[in-house]
Amino acid sequence: MIKRFIFIFIFSFFSNSVIFSASLRDDFIAAAKSYLGTPYSYGGTSRNGIDCSGLIYVSAKAAGFSIQRTSKAQYAQSTKISDSERTPGDLVFFGNDKTVNHVGIFLGNNKFIHSASDGSKTGVIISSLSESYWKKHYIGTGVVINNKSYTTSQDNQKNENNSTSKGTTSTTKTKPTTKKEINNKIKNEVKEKVTQTAKKELNNFASANFNLDGAVFFDWNFFTHSNFDFYNKSWTIQGQLKTSKFKINPGILTRCIFVGDYTLVPICVSLSLNDYIDLYAGYSFNTGEASSSHLYFYGLNKEVVPARYPNYFGITLKTPKLKLADFDITLLQDISFSIYESADPKTPLTLGEMFAIGTTFSTGINFSIPF
């Protein structure tokens, strides 16, 4: 909700008046309906076979505007609206875990036209949003026609006619001759380009899904600097905010690691390579009583402190998601490494001591809230 308010507020500065073309929407729907009965074919864009996003692509082309080819790209390109704002000609998107993999054109009366790949009927058909399957996999609605960036040849002809009807003054403005007029035209073109780019980036931001994760870990190790010995090192709570729109999703991760009388607080940049692997790296601060004294570790007769450079990194392995109400639950196995230095330069840490002190295995559970 907060993200939507922020988006609407920012977008209002860049957007001009919105146009609505009923005839364009009608043409778009009519073009799609002309494909009714066409068999489904993955990657197809003809009457011999067509897939869901291909139907959108060729129908838009027939109506006189352009659109991206895949359902994911069409979702990113569209302006998201609520279900109550939905109008015939808007796109309806479906998928799994907020990942778009199907698209159709809303027709009104809770109906939509699409090219179905499986089910009792396949190919280009008309279905209902009330059907249990589509209700379960529905993601949202996007607008692709009421934006100035979508213009048709008819719209261009109307603009030319309007310009001509205003007389020679209007015609003169479209053909600048003086240096000042040329500079003004260039400035206006640059301004329009910047505005369109800003709209596109804001649309991408608005369509980016985010996940807020919270996790609890039991931290352990099975070796010290001198022998093998299983022991509990600490307890950890974690918070992470990351996107879930891209193939590799960036995020921010922070932890509170409770070790005896002190607390370590790493702040990291994270990268989710897929649904099962996260990488992270950053800097670890220490708080509590240990902030004014050096840290001691198991059986090591040396005083150590966190390194001054980025000193905390690791990898998290995750199980497949388990859905519980509005939460996604996963089990985690984490391996992290903290870099420490000897407080006394005269007695530096050996590689074995650095490895034993810095390595931590963490087993935990994660709760994820998509928004």
Residues 6+ apart with CB under 8 A from 218: 232, 235, 362, 363, 364
Domain boundaries, the chain: 18-150, 210-370
Q: What is the model's pLDDT at position 112?
A: 97
Amino acid at 76: A
Distance separating alpha carbons of residues 31 and 46, to the nearest angstrom: 12
Is residue 371 within 8 Å of residue 212, measured between CB atoms? yes
Distance separating alpha carbons of residues 50 and 42, to the nearest angstrom: 7
Least confident segment among 173-177, 254-258, 300-304, 334-338: 173-177
CATH architecture entry for 210-370: Beta Barrel (2.40)
pLDDT digits (tens, 9 = 90+) for 213-270: 999 999 999 988 888 888 888 899 999 999 876 778 899 999 999 877 778 899 999 9
Phi, psi for residue 369 in degrees, rounded to 5: -120, 110
pLDDT digits (tens, 9 = 90+) for 262-299: 788 999 999 999 989 999 999 988 775 544 344 556 66
Amino acid at 260: G
Is residue 268 within 8 Å of residue 312, measured between CB atoms? yes
Q: What is the largest CA-CA distance in the chain?
A: 92
DSSP 350: P
List the one residue out of 73, 112, 58 whose CA is nearest residue 90: 112
Instruction: Using CB atoms within 10 Å of the CB of residue 54, give its burial: 0 to 12 exposed, 13 to 18 middle, 19+ buried.
Output: buried
Say which residue, 10 or 62, is predicted with more confidence: 62
Say which residue, 207 or 36, is predicted with more confidence: 36
Share of the chain above pLDDT 70, in %: 77
Domains 18-150 and 210-370 in one fold: no
By residue count, the chain amounts to 371
Confidence (pTM): 0.47
Catalytic site includes residue 52: yes
What average pLDDT does this structure show over 132-149?
83
CATH (residue range 18-150): 3.90.1720.10
pLDDT digits (tens, 9 = 90+) for 325-341: 778 899 999 999 998 88
pLDDT at 201 over 70: no
Catalytic site includes residue 137: no
Distance separating alpha carbons of residues 22 and 24, to the nearest angstrom: 5
Residue in 114, 256, 268, 294 annotated catalytic? 114
CA 83 to chain centre: 21
